[in-house]
Amino acid sequence: MATAVKVYGPPMSTAVSRVLACLLEKDVQFQLINVSMAKGEHKKPDFLKLQPFGQVPAFQDECITLFESRAICRYISEKYPNQGNKGLYGTNPLEKASIDQWLEAEGQSFSPPSSVLVFQLAFAPRMKIKQDEGLIKMNEEKLKKVLDVYEKRLGESRYLSGDEFSLADLSHLPNAQYLMNTDRGELFTSRENVGRWWGEISGRESWKKVVEMQKSPPPPSA
């Protein structure tokens, strides 16, 4: 039996939760190893050997180590083509290209403004950091423009890359979840197609498990 892959980092991290969603979607066994960011463990020499930028997640499969959550998701999908959700990263070059196109849109267009908003609206209050209203407004405007493009696209197809759920949709879940839990959920729900899409992708069993993991304390082995 294959040994479980290892994911290093807390599930509340958006990038870690992206990888967890992919592993659950692909039905791949994993071991989650907590990294206490509060204690700065992600900047310690041992962790930097796994992730040289001092960020979570890091990922290990047998003798290989990877970082960058989207690259890890692609690897998992390619390594386990015949288990779990078989079409998560497409089954032919055209499907893969379309998924990559929307994964890039997530990474390059959706993630920058939504990550600022996640930090400002969800994390800053918990960390007792003063919110920057100017930054919030500017990034909200940027995100609205991105979601207008999504609204049009999702009027043409059920999911971003076509009519099947894919890595491209999955990759949006972490930031969208945090924003949906703030008073900015309307950014998604006020757009008919985006709201419908959010309902579908956030209702997947894989993502519901990740949300549960985010609510639980880190494992004792951490």
Of residues 28 and 66, the one with the C-beta less far from ligand GSH: 66
* 200: nearest Cα among 149, 156, 166: 166
Residue number with CB closer to ligand GSH (1 or 38): 38
Say if residues 113 and 139 touch (Cβ distance below 8 Å). yes
Per-residue tokens: 105: 């849109």
Closest distance to ligand GSH from the beta carbon of 163 (Å): 27
CB nearer to ligand GSH: give 105 or 154.
105
DSSP string over 89-157: T-SSHHHHHHHHHHHHHIIIIIHHHHHHHIIIIIIHHHTTPPP-HHHHHHHHHHHHHHHHHHHHHHHHS
- Between strands 5-8 and 30-33, the pairing is parallel
CA distance linking residue 51 with residue 12, whole number of Å = 18
Query: For ligand GSH, how many residues bind (rule: CB under 6 A)?
Result: 11
Nearer CB in complex with ligand GSH: 59/197:
59
- CA distances (Å), origin 175, targets 1, 17, 49, 81, 163: 34, 10, 27, 26, 22
Which parts of 55-114 interact with ligand GSH (CB under 6 A)? 55-57, 68-70
**Distance separating alpha carbons of residues 171 and 102, to the nearest angstrom:** 9
Q: Nearest distance from residue 186's CB to ligand GSH, in Å?
A: 24
Q: How far is CA 16 from CA 94, 118, 142, 188, 192, in A?
A: 28, 15, 25, 23, 29
Residue 207 structure tokens: 């993502």
Name the minimum Å distance from CB 171 to ligand GSH. 9
- Check binding of 171 to ligand GSH (CB under 6 A): no
- Closer Cβ to ligand GSH, 13 or 109, answer by number: 13
Q: How far is the CB of 106 from ligand GSH (least distance, A)?
A: 10
Interface positions, 2-61, toward ligand GSH (CB under 6 A): 13-15, 42, 54-57
CB of 143 to ligand GSH, least distance (A): 18
The encoded tokens of residue 133 equal 């209203």
User: How far apart are CB 142 and ligand GSH at their closest, in Å?
Assistant: 18
Give the footprint of ligand GSH on this chain (CB under 6 A). 13-15, 42, 54-57, 68-70
